Every structure is written in structure tokens, then in C-alpha cells.
Amino acid sequence: MANKPIVDFEEIKNNLSNTSKPVQVLNENAEITDQEVFDSFSDDDLVEFMKKMVWERALHEQTMNFSRQGRMGFYAPTEGEEASEMGTVLAMKDNDYLLPAYRDVPQLIQHGATVTEAYLWSRGHVVGNEFKARSLMPQIIIGAAYVEAAGVGLGIKKSGEKDAIAFTYTGDGGTSQGDSYEGMNFAGAFQAPVLFIVQNNGFAISTPRAKQTAAPTLAQKAVAAGIPSVQVDGMDILACYAVAKAARDYMVAGNGPVLIETLTYRFGAHSSAGDDPKRYRTKEQEQPWFEKDPLIRLRKVLEDKNLWSEEQEEKLVDEYKASFKDAIKEADAVPADKVSDMLKRTFEIPTPEMKKEIEKFEAKESK
Ligand SMILES: Cc1ncc(C[n+]2csc(CCOP(=O)(O)OP(=O)(O)O)c2C)c(N)n1
Ligand SMILES: [Mg+2]
């Protein structure tokens, strides 16, 4: 036997990554790195992008305040992920379908649910699942939205619906779940129009991305399913929007799925349940990401163009927060969900045991 192996696996391993540099339009210093794409946006577009990110940051701040007051159920903080979330959702059209995960409540609201409904969802109230938006309720099971999206995408294709695709989200941790690969594989096999978005915010609760997988990028997980994929700077809203729009245009022209990995960061805790990020990451690790804050980056561009001011932003934040206070008052006014109603919704025909339970709760509730 010759000493030289027939295949050089080390060399193959070193060439696994399928992506070049993440797509970017504005770099960390707010300098334009892609003039042509930048010039495709009007001043009004740029202001609109900024307003959406300010809205999402205000939603995060106010909702976390409500949470600390004990007025919310489960809620996932979104600070830091505004470019990734607003950039991609702004590329959606009304007749597109959304299959969100728990950190995607801002996209659900942008796609047509009211803030009141979103708050009721957080409280586990049935009204929070009855919004009119073309969306399922946020998925708690990580990766599972990818499977749902594959089915919805196939439905779009089979029904011949034009100018519609499915948008779905998971996190870096979600890509380790079997569901995410099953969803991608199915959509690839049937060439279903699904835009798979991986919001890589660096952590799955306390597990860092580096310990999550040996894959050099999460984007390349789509390659085995025959799906084109790309990494994008997830702190650059112009890049996130431009890539999501290009993916949508590609799909509505009759092509199959696409995957986008947005490189972003979760500035705070994993959830309103109050985990402490200090226990699994250091200030030194966080600081460079805080400096990439997507709001700071776009604000610089707008201020240079005299399109934005601090006063304008403060006024907007006050308006947005007032609207969230109205929304929670509205949610408070919705009568509490009855246990008997919840049981009645479980099966179309209740089991004999359930019938007894329903009667028991109805008797209690009528007192
Ligand atoms: C199938 C499944 N396993 C475990 C959990 C518990 N869990 C909730 S969030 C989470 C981490 C998810 O991290 P990631 O996908 O990166 O999303 P992020 O929270 O960072 O947005 C885990 C393991 C779950 N919800 N579903
Ligand atoms: Mg994550």
C-alpha cells in the first residue's frame, strides 16, 4: 500500500465553506461598501428603514418593561437583531406567508398581526392565535417552522398562487435540529418557494455558535439539500433587505428555495424568563458587537445626509411606546380565556374524560 492516501480529507475539510465574504452594503463605520445597491435606495427608503428599526427597538424596550411588571407571558428580547428582522420582513409582500419562531414577533406584527394580538399570544390567550395575517403563530419548537414552511411552500406551488412565497426563521441553534434539515430537504426536492432565514445571533441560550456545529457556516447547511445560500451582514439593514428581496424575486420567477444566514447578535438575555448572559459570555466578547449596533450604523448615514435628528427619533420613540401602552390596555380588557374553552378546542369530539373535565370547569366558571 502506498503511504499517500487516495483522498486528502484534510484538504477537503479546509475547503468546506461555500460562501465568500458576507454580503454588505454599509460597513461597521457606516461607509458604503456597495455603491450601486446603496444608490438604489431613495432618501425616503433610508428613513423608512430607520423608522422600522427604531420601532422594533422601542417595542423591545417597552415590552420588556411590561414583562418586568409581570404583564407578559413568554417574550424573546430582540435588541440587536433589528436589521436582520426588519430588513428581511420588509422584503415580504402581503400575500406571502410567514412561519415565525418565538423571536420573530416583530415580523409577525409587521406582517399584519396587531400588537394587542401579539401580547395576547405571549400570555397564551387564544385571541393571540387568531390574527388575520398570513402567518402561523410563533413556533416555540426550534427548527419546526422550517417543516411547516416546506408544506406551505409546496401548497403555494401546487395551487399555482403567483407572487407569493413562504418566509421562515430559525436560529443558529435551530439548525442543529433534525426538523430544519427535513424542511430544507423537502423544499429542495419539490422546489417549493421558501425563503429559509437563519438568524445566527451567536448563541442558543448559553451555547455559543462555535460549540453548536463544526460546519464553517450555517449557510452551507442548505447545500446538501441543493439550495443556494448566502451569508449576510445581519447588522446592516440595507444588505439584509437587498438580499431578501433578491431571493424573493428569484423565487417568484419560478425557482425553488433559498437560504440566508444573517450574522447578528442578541444584545441581552435569551428570554423574559431572565437568564443571565454574564454567566456565559464576557464584556470583551460583547463589546465589538454592541459597536455594530444596526441603529447606530444607519443613523450615521442619515445624519450625514441631514435626514435624521435626535429630537425626531425621541419623538418617534415616545409615539411608539404610547401605542404599545394602548395595546396592552386593550389586551387587559379581553376577557380571560376559560379553561373549559381551552379544553373544548383540543379535540373536535372530546374524549369521555375530557367531557367530564369540561363539565367540572364549566360548573366552577359559572360560580
Ligand atoms: C426542539 C426543542 N428543543 C429544545 C428547546 C429549548 N430551547 C428553547 S430556545 C433554545 C435555543 C435556541 O437557540 P437558537 O436557535 O440559536 O435561537 P435564538 O434563541 O438564539 O433566537 C432551546 C434549546 C426547544 N424550544 N425546542
Ligand atoms: Mg441563536
Query: What's the 84 CA to ligand 2 centre distance in angstroms?
Result: 13
Confidence of residue 18 (pLDDT cuts 50, 70, 90): low
Q: Are 230 and 217 in contact (CB under 8 A)?
A: no
Q: Are 122 and 92 in contact (CB under 8 A)?
A: no
Residue having the nearest C-alpha atom to atom 23 of ligand 1: 204
pLDDT tens column, 106-145? 999 999 999 999 999 999 999 999 999 999 999 999 999 9
Query: What's the 170 CA to ligand 1 centre distance in angstroms?
Result: 9
**Positive or negative: CA dihedral 93, 98, 104, 110:** positive
Q: What domains are there in the chain, each with its CATH number?
A: 17-335 (3.40.50.970), 337-367 (no CATH)
Q: Which of 230, 144, 223 is nearest to 183 (CA)?
A: 144
pLDDT tens column, 327-364? 999 999 999 999 999 999 999 999 999 999 999 999 99
> Residue 102 CA: which ligand 1 atom is closest?
21
Cell numbers at 168, concatenated: 421562515
Bridge partner residues of 170 (DSSP): 198
Tell me how far the alpha carbon of residue 281 is from its chain's centroid: 23
Residue 173 CB less than 6 A away from ligand 1? yes
